[in-house]
Each structure stands twice: as C-alpha cells, then as structure tokens.
Structure 1
Amino acid sequence: MTAPKTGRSATVTETLPPVRRAVIFDLDGVLVDSFAVMNEAFALAYEEVVGEGPAPFEEYRRHLGRYFPDIMRIMGLPLEMEEPFVRESYRLAHRVPVFEGIVELLLTLRVRGLRLAVATGKSGPRARSLLEQLGLLPFFAHVIGSDEVEHPKPAPDIVLHALDLLGLPAEQAIMVGDAPTDLASAQGAGVTSAAALWAVSDVDELLAARPAAVLRRPADLLALCRSVPRD
C-alpha cells in the first residue's frame, strides 16, 4: 500500500508537555504493514466458513483496532471465522514487512530513555509471536493484546493496563495509532493521542477523531519525545 503524500513534518494541534517517558504503539498499520497478509487470511477464512464470494475486507478494515470477535459481531459474520483467520495469519506471518523507518525510530527512542509498549487489537500471543519473528520484540517492555483486558479498544482498558505495567501516569505517555479506535482508547485513558498516517486509507476519518498530534512519517514522533532526564 502506498502511504498518503501528506508532507514530512509532524503537526501538533495542542500544547504537549515537554517530557514523555513512554510510547505505546498500535501494531498493524503503525509498526508493520500487515494489510496484504490480513486480506489473504480474511479471504481464506471467509471462504472456509461462509462460502464462495468476495470477502468484505474493506468493511473489515474500517473496524481495525478492535478485537477480531468484536469485528465479526459488528459485521454480522460467524465467530467461527476466527480460527481459520488466526491459523492463516500465523502461516503467512513471514510475509509481513516492517514499515520503513520504524527500526530506526525504536532504536532512537530507546537511546533517549523512553520505555515502549504495544497495545493491539490482536491477541497477545499472536502479537508477541509476530514481533518476535520480525526481530522487534526486544524493543518493547510490554506487548498487550485485546484478549488480555476486559474491554478492548475503543475502551481505554488496554492503554490503562499498559500505563499500569509501565508504572507511569497518563501525562507521561503518548500513544500512536492508525485507527479512530486507537485514538479513542488513548483519549479515554488520558494519554496524548498521535495519528500515524503512513498507511492510512481514510485520512479524514482519522483526523476527525481529533488526535493531539499528526505524524506523517515515523521519524516525526521524535519531535514529541525528547531524551528522558536522568533522575
């Protein structure tokens, strides 16, 4: 997928506190470009459970950020699609690329002393497996899946759980997401929300969620995350 050509620098739409101690990332569409693999896994699961015909992946994609069973309920599709979808996602995981600039971003944030976490619509085991396969897992202090909180996104539970594990107040963290559900979860938890545009298909919908910051490329986040002072 081609990222939208929307410029280069971050646009900050509110005054942000000068020091962040942690960044919480969504996974799909922020760290990794998993949409092609997701599309294939969804189509195979749809054919296996529902039958032949075009799988409604574009509608599915509009709900990304939510837990897979919740998306099935919203779309009126059988929950039985989860097993083949997860199976195929594991099988195809080796084809998921990391977005350009992400590794450099994570390295720089770690050097600056920030702690990193992932809060994803995926299940925890699947998210950790994918990150480990891609060599990214060591960057993160915690990786939390939607199956590991009572109420998944857009509820704030997953972000609040990340803050609890990190041992930080909301004002010292920022969350980066590519879906309105990510931003709603961050905002509900009192965490500064940042919209990642490098793989977004509907920029207007994401901006309508009123993120505190807009990131047009991964490196833009660095302007909001200076080095953490040593205590």
Structure 2
Amino acid sequence: MTTGSEHHAATTSEQHSPGSRQAVIFDLDGVVVDSFAVMGEAFSLAYAEVVGPGAAPFEEYQRHQGRYFPDIMRIMGLPLEMEEPFVRESYRLAHQVQVYDGVVDVLRMLNERGLRLAIATGKAGERARSLLGVLGLLPYFAHVIGSDEVPRPKPAPDIVRRALELLNVPADRAIMIGDAPTDLASAHGADVTAAAALWGCHDEIGLLAAGPDIVLQRPADLLVLCPVVPAVHGAEPTELCPNGRSRRLGD
C-alpha cells in the first residue's frame, strides 16, 4: 500500500525533478530541534513575570508556531514586554533543547552530497545561531536567517527568498521543510517546493490542510528527494566553517 508520504514524494519527483535539487531550507523548531519543552517553560516564566498569576496559554501559542514572537504576541493580545524574559529564559535553557533523532545523519549526508543548507526560522537570527552553536549544528548550514533579518516574517515569502539569494540557488532547485502552515505558505509564496515535516508537528491535520507538495514522515525521507548534486565544471570545492558559512578550499 502506498503511504501518503510516498504518494506526495512520487508526485513531486515527477513534477520537480529532484535530481536537479541543489539546496534545502529548514525551519528550525519542530524540524531540526525539539525545543517545545524549553519553549513552554520560557513562555510560562515570561507570562508570570509580565502578566501575573494564572495558566500561561502555551497551547494557543503553539498554534502560531513559525511566526515571529512579537507577531504572536499581537495575535494573542499579550504584552510585547513578554519578549525580553522569554528570550532571556530561552538562552538560559538552550542546552536542554533536543535534536530530533536522525537529523544529524541527514544533515551530514546532505552536505556530503553537495547540497547547500540554510535555516529560515521564526526566531531572531542571533538567537537561532546561538542555539545551533550550543547544539553543535551550526557548521552544517551555509546560512541561518531569522525573522528579524527580513522585511516581513513568515508567512510572507521574504525569508525563503532571502535564503535562495544567499545560497545562490533558483527556486525550482530548492525545497523548504517546515512543521507549520506558515512555513508552507512562505515556501509557496517563494515558488519553492514545500515539504511538511510530521515528526515534530503538533497539528498534523492543519499542516496537511495547508497543501504541502511533499509529506515527510521522518528526517531520512528527505534523502530520497536529494541525491548527489553533480559537480559543476570549473567550480572550486567548498567546506563549511565553524560559523556556519561556506568558503572555498584554499581561502
């Protein structure tokens, strides 16, 4: 029997020629890292500090996952002053964030196959790069882009378009992996293949209703869609630096 993910992958393979794919753009939370326990604790502490006693509405916060934190506060009608303690506690608890099983192997394999990788996250860029550094993942990514580093955050396409620009890859040669409808909307708006990551998703029905081009059940499914990138004649080999930026060998 063909699963939903196999059906979506097969359909997209025929339409988008995965052999020509050169780059993968990842959302961060819910795709690369499982940060929800830490996020929930930071949100509760920030709520208590700014709003006061009572249950913090973290479940509602999760429904807006993928958006920039100040935008979520506006949508929920919560004080923007919650951002400072939320960010402070997120930095303090960063070492408790977990990397999803299989992700490191997939990132390593994609790098070895010659694909260029980027993060396009609802987090601020500095905090995203700090977290990836704490977890030892930063060297896998050529670029890490935060919502504060583009004119309009997700669901606008700006952050995906910025990733394409930095990676120097056309839209039809890239794929965006996300766990929230805002991720898929951002990818679609940039004319990039949108893949739904189910392993960290908290609302599978809502994510599938957002119309992903591909459905991935586990991180390793991505490898089927991203074979080795053919070497370009005359191109110099590159390697990743510790800060997550790429450089030509010999530089």
Alignment partners' CA distance in 2, 1:181 and 1:191 = 14
Residue 10 to residue 147, structure 1, CA distance change in 2 (3 Å): farther
1:167 equivalent in structure 2: 168
- Is the CA contact (8 Å cut-off) linking 1:10 and 1:220 kept in structure 2? no
1:32 equivalent in structure 2: 33
- Is the CA contact (8 Å cut-off) linking 1:163 and 1:169 kept in structure 2? yes
User: Which secondary structure state, in structure 1, belongs to the residue aligned with residue 194 of structure 2?
Assistant: strand
Query: Pairwise mapping of residues 146-225 of structure 1 onto structure 2 (< 5 A)?
Result: 146-225=147-226
Alignment partners' CA distance in 2, 1:165 and 1:202 = 31
- Is the CA contact (8 Å cut-off) linking 1:7 and 1:216 kept in structure 2? no
2:82 equivalent in structure 1: 81
Residue 202 to residue 32, structure 1, CA distance change in 2 (3 Å): same
2:249 equivalent in structure 1: none
- In terms of Rg, which structure is larger? 2
* 1:16 maps onto 2:11 in alignment: no
- Is the CA contact (8 Å cut-off) linking 1:10 and 1:216 kept in structure 2? no
Alignment partners' CA distance in 1, 2:179 and 2:227 = 22
AA of the residue aligned to 1:17: S
Aligned residue pair count? 226
2:53 equivalent in structure 1: 52
Q: CA RMSD in A?
A: 1.3
Alignment partners' CA distance in 1, 2:168 and 2:110 = 18
- How far off its partner does 1:199 sit? 1.5
1:3 equivalent in structure 2: none
Where in structure 2 are there 5+ consecutive unaligned residues?
Answer: 233-251
- How far off its partner does 1:17 sit? 1.8
* TM-score, length basis structure 1: 0.95
- Is the CA contact (8 Å cut-off) linking 2:4 and 2:215 kept in structure 1? no
Alignment partners' CA distance in 1, 2:143 and 2:62 = 25
- Is the CA contact (8 Å cut-off) linking 1:8 and 1:217 kept in structure 2? no
Alignment partners' CA distance in 1, 2:126 and 2:6 = 34
AA of the residue aligned to 2:150: V
- How far off its partner does 1:53 sit? 0.3
User: Which secondary structure state, in structure 2, belongs to the residue aligned with residue 218 of structure 1?
Assistant: coil
Q: Percent identity of the aligned residues?
A: 72
Regions of 4+ moved over 6 Å: none
Alignment partners' CA distance in 2, 1:16 and 1:133 = 36
* 1:141 maps onto 2:145 in alignment: no
Q: Higher relative CO (CA 8 A, sep ≥ 6), structure 1 or 2?
A: 1
